[in-house]
């Protein structure tokens, strides 16, 4: 009896093989042939799941976003103060664990390659900004932000802080480790939260 192949799982495995090729050979080495070899498939078998290289790369990058969203979804199911939940959501977007480090590295490699070639990016690029908008507006609606805060500017500032932390945590891993990333985020959030809503590092479990 022929073995039944789980298409979703096989595509995910191919995408993860793509990540590995990008890490080892860069975007220039992310050819269909190299990816097929890494995935342990023939070219014909790989093309059964992805018709061309662009389709495969887009799927592999979208999987990065899906993984982050899945982790965020798990955080949102937890029962905890809103401010702490915000902190934990932000941490899911940063390269402070082995998996998130891998995802961030291949994401940056893909984005840099597309920008360098002036190609159209076929993946959602404003997902992080949208998330920052939801966080700031959510904190405002709960009445946690200090009086007079400029929401538009705080969205932009939080976006810059998180994006900057991602870059530095990826390329300066020894200096900016998990603990320092958390302390930096708490420091920033507390600069816009009311005193009674401020996060206390000693009480945070992350």
Which pLDDT does position 84 carry in this prediction?
A: 94
Q: Looking at residues 113-120, what average pLDDT do you find?
A: 73
Which pLDDT does position 90 carry in this prediction?
A: 97
Q: Give the whole-angstrom CA distance, residue 46 versus residue 3.
A: 17
Contacting residues for 143 by C-beta, under 8 A, at least 6 apart: 194
Q: Give the whole-angstrom CA distance, residue 206 versus residue 204.
A: 6
What is the pTM for the complete model shown? 0.88
Q: Give the whole-angstrom CA distance, residue 51 versus residue 48.
A: 7
Which pLDDT does position 140 carry in this prediction?
A: 97
Q: Give the whole-angstrom CA distance, residue 184 versus residue 114.
A: 31
State pLDDT tens for residues 60-105: 999 999 999 999 999 999 999 999 999 999 999 999 999 999 999 9
What are the two backbone dihedrals, phi and then psi, of residue 11, each rounded to the nearest 5 degrees?
Answer: -65, -40
pLDDT band at 4 (very low <50, low <70, confident <90, very high): low
State pLDDT tens for residues 148-192: 999 999 999 999 999 999 999 999 988 999 999 999 999 999 999
- For residue 187, the tally of other CB atoms under 10 A from its CB is 12
> Do 122 and 113 contact (CB within 8 A), yes or no?
no
> Do 181 and 91 contact (CB within 8 A), yes or no?
yes
Map out the domains of the chain as residue ranges. 79-203
Q: Phi/psi zone of residue 26: left (φ > 0), alpha (ψ -120 to 50 degrees), beta?
A: left
> Do 192 and 170 contact (CB within 8 A), yes or no?
no
Most confident of 41-45, 110-114, 158-162, 170-174: 158-162
The DSSP H or E segment spanning 181 is helix 178-192
Look-up of token digits 């690029």: 125
The two three-digit tokens of residue 155, written as one number: 């969205």
């Amino acid at each position: 009896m022929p073995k039944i192949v789980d298409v979703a799982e096989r595509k995910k495995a191919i995408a993860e093989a793509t990540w590995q090729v990008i890490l080892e050979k860069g975007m220039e080495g992310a050819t269909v042939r190299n990816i097929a070899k890494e995935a342990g498939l023939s070219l014909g078998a790989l093309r059964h799941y992805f018709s061309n290289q662009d389709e495969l790369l887009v799927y592999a990058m979208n999987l990065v976003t899906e993984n982050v969203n899945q982790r965020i979804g798990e955080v949102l199911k937890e029962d905890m103060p809103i401010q702490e939940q915000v902190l934990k959501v932000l941490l899911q977007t940063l390269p402070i664990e082995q998996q998130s480090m891998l995802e961030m590295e291949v994401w940056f490699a893909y984005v840099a390659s597309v920008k360098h070639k002036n190609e159209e990016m076929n993946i959602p690029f404003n997902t992080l900004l949208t998330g920052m908008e939801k966080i700031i507006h959510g904190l405002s609606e709960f009445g946690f932000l200090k009086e007079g805060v400029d929401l538009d500017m705080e969205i932009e500032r939080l976006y810059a802080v998180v994006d900057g932390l991602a870059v530095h945590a990826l390329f300066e891993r020894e200096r900016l480790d998990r603990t320092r990333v958390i302390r930096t985020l708490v420091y920033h959030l507390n600069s816009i939260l009311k005193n009674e809503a401020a996060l206390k590092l000693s009480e945070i479990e992350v």
